[in-house]
Amino acid sequence: APWDGALYATENSRDLLGDDIPADELNRIEPGGFYGWPYVHARAVVDPEFGRGRESLIATARPPAHEFRAHNAPLGVRFLRHSARPAGYERVALVALHGSWNRSMPDGYKVVSLHFADDGRIEERDFLSGFRGAAGLIGRPVDVAEAADGSIYVSDDYAGVIYRVSR
């Protein structure tokens, strides 16, 4: 993050445990940090195959900085740096949610903005959506980039295009 130098990474959690668990994650990476995989997912979803008997190790897992809805598949993350960004986007990361493949009701398929508060809370808001609707699937966001002029580029591996978002 440009304001404090912290390193963050997205994590796609395990599949086949249900529609709503486990949440996908944004982790703040720390030296020597353990984030639970493959023994525990999100804040407290113990893996039924690998978690049994690993309680002491699970207790050392760092909780995620933010949880995305299960199976949203967060991929690319970009912290905004350009001075021309809109008001309210001073401490913000954009995250491409590739979308679910195995939920009974598909979910994700959008770009969200994560707003980092001074107290450590992170608020998630929709930034770019409409990739899945009544007409079906038209796109799957993969990554986000910020251009020198402040424009945002979003790659889409389903439609095979790159979108440009500008003021």
Which domains are seen in the chain, by residue range?
A: 7-165 (2.120.10.30)
Residue bearing tokens 């970009």: 78
Q: Is this structure's pTM higher than 0.75?
A: yes
pLDDT tens readout for residues 12-70: 999 999 999 999 999 999 999 999 999 999 998 999 999 999 999 999 999 999 999 99
Nearest one of 76, 83, 44, 80 to 61, comparing CA atoms: 44
Q: Which amino acid, 100?
A: S
Q: Which amino acid, 97?
A: L
pLDDT(135) > 90: no
pLDDT tens readout for residues 150-163: 999 999 999 999 99
